[in-house]
Amino acid sequence: MATRNGNNNNNKKRAAGIALVAALAALAVVAPAVEAAPAKAVTTAPKPFELPKNPVSKVNVSFGSKDISVAGVTVKKPVWSQTINLKQVDPTRKNVFWTRLTFDATQTKLRKPKKAPTTAAWGADQPGDVIRITSVLDKAVQYLNADSLAQWSFQSAFFNGPAVTVELLADPNADAKVKPAVIVTSVTTNDEDGFSADPINLPPPTTLCNAADLRKPVTDLRNGRIFPVGCTGWTINDKTGCHTSAGHCFDGVDATQQVLQVSVPQSAVIVKDGVKVGIPRHPDPKYQFAVDASSVQYKLLSELDVDNAVDAEDWSYFGTFRNPNTGLTQREAANNQSYTLAKVTNGVIAPGQSAVGDVVTITGFGNVRDQARKNLRLTQQTATGSLASFPDKYHINHRVDTEGGNSGSAMVVKKNGKEIAIGIHTNGGCDTTSSTSANYGSSVNQRGYQAALAAPKGVCKA
């Protein structure tokens, strides 16, 4: 048994080895990392990071056109169009529920207008040539010009279905002698071929506190699914409306690939080998926000990395770009709602804001093991439980049901009718058979997190 004060370094080192193997596997497909982070009151170890298994694969394609003719264009209009259907590219591929295009960054050429516009415009009106991508299945659309395509790291939003139509809208105000180009080199999709069953089998659950799983669907635009890593991020009351999540959601993860998705629809459910599987579906691109990699600050110092558990940190602070369809920031799209962070004075959460026994609410995009509720897998759900203990001044134990994918969720308490975010959920550990077991997370007064908030980067700078 591991304790937080740790006199079992051999066990800890072994656990670190397992975590490394898991992290390497995560480069190919997003696999759950397993880490030991037990708390004093807890006798079950190790505690899993709350990451879901979320298989993703990339298919190389040769798609698009160079030297697209823009002769005689006097109004912004489509001059080129092509539909890509992953089922035609690879007929052996089954159950393609979503697709994401990767454009070639050097060969794709979108012209800018000769004269830069004085007012911001969005959607098809973004200045210069605009790529319009439309899902054949649900007609969802995303518009990207040279600037927004770069912000999206030359990738599209996530679209439902196997087929999308790509069009080029030529700008009459750009140089007609320059011919634009649209080149797509790969399509990312949910991975059916590499699929294996969810490794977190019942029993024993190590993250649910209640066998019934008390989480219920909710729509709260302050919370988003970080995809494809499979975490939860939430919008805070800083100057710019940036977000908070766990550190392990960015550790070893390519931030340029990550998108914060709000208003997430229910998942598709397929039956594989007699077992129901929930596969994520995606919200309209107006509810998808590309992560600004230059804004990301995070720390992951697990209990394996530090001499004293009190020094472990697991948090992230990051921003997302304005939505290219609407021009709104994620917080504006959420009607300017955000979470209020607990007040921190002299390095501690100021008195009166949280106490053992408080009702804690956790809302996030967790895995669902219940076969009857696979449609809710990695969709937004909320649950309440008790604040179990403060193992030290930088960590919080709670008894709220969570699953992989809940990592990064806000731990919220209500004081005088006001919601206060006191922590960041990071690890499982609850056991349905033990009332003293608990899930676990970082307190918002962690030193690194406070320092990051005080020195925002990228789009998080006001």
Ligand X SMILES: *[C@@H]1O[C@H](CO)[C@@H](O)[C@H](O)[C@H]1NC(C)=O
Binding site for ligand X (CB under 6 A): 60, 332, 335-336
Cβ 332 to ligand X shortest distance, Å? 5
Element (H, E) at 77: strand 77-85
Q: Which residues contact residue 60 at a Cβ distance below 8 angstroms, ignoring those fewer than 6 apart?
A: 185, 186
Closest to ligand X by CB, 286 vs 299, is 286
CA distances to 137, 205, 440, 446 from 392, rounded to whole Å, are 51, 25, 12, 11
Q: C-beta of 60: minimal distance to ligand X in Å?
A: 4
Nearer to ligand X, 332 or 392 (CB): 332
Token reading at 442: 């970082």
Q: Are 241 and 329 in contact (CB under 8 A)?
A: yes
Q: Smallest distance from the beta carbon of 27 to ligand X, in angstroms? A: 14
**300 token code pair:** 């992951």
* Residue whose CB is less far from ligand X, 223 or 329: 329
Matching residue, tokens 């069009």: 167
Q: Measured from the CB atom, is 136 or 328 closer to ligand X?
A: 328
Q: Which residues contact 23 (CB under 8 A, 6 or more apart)?
A: 33, 251, 252
Q: Give the CA-trace dihedral at 153, 24, 203, 194, to 10 degrees.
A: 70
Q: Identify whether the C-beta of residue 421 lies closer than 8 Å to the C-beta of residue 343.
A: no
State the minimum distance, in angstroms, from the CB of residue 462 to ligand X: 13
Distance in angstroms (rounded) separating the CA atoms of residues 212 and 217: 15
Between 138 and 332, name the residue whose CB sits nearer to ligand X. Answer: 332
Nearer to ligand X, 191 or 251 (CB): 191
Question: Closer to ligand X at the Cβ: 335 or 416?
Answer: 335
Provide the token pair at 83: 């539909």
Closest separation between CB of residue 319 and ligand X, Å?
Answer: 17
* Rounded CA separation 407/158 (Å): 21
The Cα 311–Cα 132 span in angstroms is 48
